[in-house]
Amino acid sequence: MKPKFTFILLAAIALTLIACSVTFNLGDPTATVPAPQITFPTDVVESPTTAPQPTAVIVLPSAEPAGQEITVYFMDENRFVAAIEPYEVAVTRTTAGADLPLAVLQAYFAGPTQEEFDQGLRLLSSGFTHVRELTIQDGIARVYLGGTCANNGAAYSVANLVMKNLEQFPQISAVKIYDENDENLDPDSPNSSLPYCLEP
């Protein structure tokens, strides 16, 4: 019986030691458990509470167009005197007008620049000074000249230059020139024609 008593005694001591070493900390049941700390990365940008306003775009008007380049023919006196055809030499001008055939004739009657004049280019006017009116219909250009016709029977006249300047436009197939009295020798035909004063 002694060994059994000794075993029971040792078991009781062991249980006592275990009970003393284990502490149950149930805590205060009313205590609040602290929330876990959450750390966000510093490079995250939260969405704005209001949508970003669109940036206004201001379109400034472009500069005025420089104009359109046109070709104007003048008589080259040096070539004419030397009888070297063609007698007409082309130069360029710039116009802002929409009626290019009229702009070409107006530039012609304005004459060559000083530099062009020094090179031998001439305004052959045959007494006319300007274009009173220009109409184009059914391929026929009708040119009404202003001034006083003074061709004196010359075979080469302002008519040659007017026709040369207008022939560059594909919509023109014939040119009829009228003098200061609105006269033309063949106004109703589909062909080019002149006033009596410009006939050689």
Task: State the average pLDDT over residues 178-194.
Answer: 98
Q: Is residue 113 part of a domain?
A: yes
Q: Is residue 154 part of a domain?
A: yes
8 Å CB contact between 88 and 74: yes
77 three-class SS: helix
User: Judging by beta carbons within 10 Å of its beta carbon (0-12, 13-18, 19+), is residue 157 exposed, middle or buried?
Assistant: buried
Claim: this prediction has a pTM higher than 0.75: no
What is the domain range of residue 194? 68-198
Task: State the average pLDDT over residues 9-22.
Answer: 50
Paired residues of 121 in beta bridges: 76
Q: Is residue 150 part of a domain?
A: yes
Query: Which of 173, 177, 171, 140 shows the shortest CA–CA distance to 159?
Result: 177
Identify the pLDDT of residue 65: 53
Distance, CA of 122 to CA of 108 (rounded, Å) = 10
pLDDT (tens digit per residue) in 108-124? 999 999 999 999 999 99
Identify the pLDDT of residue 39: 41
pLDDT (tens digit per residue) in 42-99? 333 344 444 555 555 454 544 555 689 999 999 999 999 999 999 999 999 999 989 9
Q: Is residue 193 part of a domain?
A: yes
Give the mean pLDDT of the chain: 81
Cis status of the peptide bond prior to 54, with omega within 30 of 0: no
Q: Is residue 6 part of a domain?
A: no
Identify the pLDDT of residue 50: 47
What's 111's DSSP letter? -
Q: Is residue 174 part of a domain?
A: yes
The domain total for the chain is: 1
pLDDT (tens digit per residue) in 152-161? 899 999 999 9
Q: Is residue 21 part of a domain?
A: no
Identify the pLDDT of residue 143: 98
Q: Is the alpha carbon torsion for 97, 77, 164, 148 positive or negative?
A: positive
Per-residue pLDDT at 9 exceeds 90: no
Q: Is residue 27 part of a domain?
A: no
